[in-house]
Amino acid sequence: MSIEVGAKGRAETIVTEQNTAAAVGSGLVPVFATPYMVALMENAAVNALTPYMEEGQGSVGTHLDISHDSATPIGMKVWAEAEVTAVDGKALTFSVTAYDEAGVIGKGTHNRFIITVDRFLAKSEKKKEGR
């Protein structure tokens, strides 16, 4: 794994009735929901890492510090861009920005951690033993 500062990823979608604040319950209005913007930002970060992942590796989000600054109505295209700004072993920091066709709608930072998928899932499943 040799992820470099400056690696970039992008993800996009169209605002539909299904990804609005009203539909997801994060608000009552039919505009692009913040939880979906967050997912778009994370997806962009994942896309930035995809070329660097080895067989059996993945990444998980560990922290987000973002703002959602502008509402986007149904029918508009939205996209997110992520850029690696720091690499500390398996810990990665990204600058993330979301846009619609009128401009920036949100921005911030996002942290991810590189995992071995099988080991990660096995550890997760062990939680069931303690309940």
- Contact call for residues 17 and 75 (beta carbons, < 8 A): no
pTM, two decimal places: 0.95
pLDDT digits (tens, 9 = 90+) for 76-96: 999 999 999 999 999 999 999
**How distant, in Å, are the alpha carbons of 24, 45, 114 from that of 59?**
25, 9, 4
CA distance 16 to 130: 41
Beta-bridge partners for 86:
93
- Residue spans of the domains in the chain: they are 8-122
pLDDT digits (tens, 9 = 90+) for 25-68: 999 999 999 999 999 999 999 999 999 999 999 999 999 999 99
CA distance 58 to 56: 7
**CA-based nearest residue to 110, from 11, 1, 14, 29:** 11
Q: What is the CATH number of domain 8-122?
A: 3.10.129.10
- Contact call for residues 14 and 76 (beta carbons, < 8 A): yes
- The backbone region for 22, taken as left when phi is positive above 0, alpha when psi lies in -120 to 50, beta otherwise, is alpha
3-class secondary structure, 30:
coil
Residue 61 assigned ligand-binding role: yes
Residue 112 assigned ligand-binding role: yes
Residues noted as catalytic: 34, 42, 68
CA distance 69 to 71: 7
